Amino acid sequence: MHLAPTPGNAANLIRGGIKEDRIVITGNTVIDALYWAIKREQSCRHAIFEDLQHDTRKIILASVHRREAWEKIPEIANAIKQIAARQDVRIIIPMHKNPVVCQTLQNILANMINVDLIEPLNYLDFCQLMSRADIILSDSSGAEEEGPTLGKPTLILRSLTERPEAIHTGSAILVGNSGDLIIRRVNHILDNLDVFKSANIQTKHYGDGQATQRVIGAIANYFGLGPAVQPFYHGCEMGLGRIS
């Protein structure tokens, strides 16, 4: 038995020789966890949340930590610096503990008025911050799924992704680590944020919050202890997401 999070994952298994009747499409349990975390708003204790209640600027949540991006972190940071020169934005960056990442961001962004370099957040706080952001800029594989699920324009700091579902529907955009492209894409969204907000409703490319129940049901069915599971399906065309 193979439990595939998305129809695209299932298609990859079939291309690899796995029989279709051995595959159950469940959705991703990370989306179950996201919905669980979003419901626990009262558990968030970071001081930034109270501050955000009175902030009318457009909020960008940015995170970068992948080893593949380390050499490009100065370029990414300088792109963020240029975006932060706008008076209508506030960029919040939970700092990664890796000294290579942390020191570079500190050197370039520490004195920017519209940039908050904050300590790493726990899972609940990070999910709540995603839900309150207007734009998410990240190389995190989790944010690739969570941002579009929350209906946030999500710019992925990678040139290639293993999670193409949101790319194909426009819920997420691959910007790589080119400073010029990052600036251009972010400014375009900021200047047309109302349009993006009206069009970019919450999507279910990666799950609907019921993956755990499908996993349990699929295991029970495999051992003859329950009925077949209704698979998760989002109707998204599959492919490998790249920078256009």
pTM, full prediction: 0.90
Q: Average the pLDDT over 225-241 and give the result.
A: 70
- Rounded-to-integer distance, Cα 83 and Cα 155, Å: 14
What pLDDT score was predicted for residue 90? Answer: 98
- Rounded-to-integer distance, Cα 173 and Cα 244, Å: 9
| Domain segments of the chain as ranges | 2-35+205-242, 46-199
Q: Average the pLDDT over 173-182 and give the result.
A: 94
* Dihedral angle, C-alpha 227, 6, 206, 153, nearest 10 °: -160
Per-residue pLDDT tens over the stretch 83-115:
999 999 999 999 988 888 899 999 999 989 999
- Rounded-to-integer distance, Cα 177 and Cα 71, Å: 10
Is the CA virtual torsion 13, 17, 18, 19 positive or negative? Answer: positive
Architecture of the structural domain at 46-199 = 3-Layer(aba) Sandwich (3.40)
Per-residue pLDDT tens over the stretch 27-38:
999 999 999 999
User: Closest Cα to residue 217, out of 26, 21, 4?
Assistant: 26
